[in-house]
Amino acid sequence: MGAGPRAAALWRVTGETEEVLPVLLAAWEENRHVRVDIAECLAEMGPAASAAQLVVLTELTRRRRHNAREGGSGTHDVHLDEKLLTLCRAALARMERGAY
């Protein structure tokens, strides 16, 4: 288990966003394969994850998908990408709701 999933698990137990959010964002950049798990955690955090808003917006507007590989992709990749986009939209909506 990498730093991102460990940080998400820590947040779920402690609720300590200040310490966990930088680790989640670093893991997002370092390992594209953990983005679905991190996006799920950001959605759960809601307004507390507002510092991640730019990262989420960037993912939603990216033309080349996070799991694109040289030489093609499979149907499994489409499912994971759709899941990531759904979680990013949910995270963004929850962040914005808390900003008012």
Q: What is the pLDDT of residue 72?
A: 60
Q: What does the alpha-carbon distance between residue 20 and residue 60 come to, in Å, rounded to a whole number?
A: 22
Phi, psi of 74, rounded to the nearest 5 degrees: -115, 180
pLDDT tens digits, one per residue of 21-78: 999 999 999 998 899 999 999 999 999 999 999 999 999 998 765 555 566 655 667 7
Q: In the structure encoding, which two tokens stand for residue 74, read together?
A: 């499979």
Q: What does the alpha-carbon distance between residue 72 and residue 89 come to, in Å, rounded to a whole number?
A: 26
pLDDT bracket for residue 3 (50, 70, 90): confident
pLDDT tens digits, one per residue of 75-98: 667 788 889 999 999 999 999 886
**Is the distance from CB of 31 to CB of 4 less than 8 angstroms?**
yes
| pLDDT at residue 100 tops 50 | no
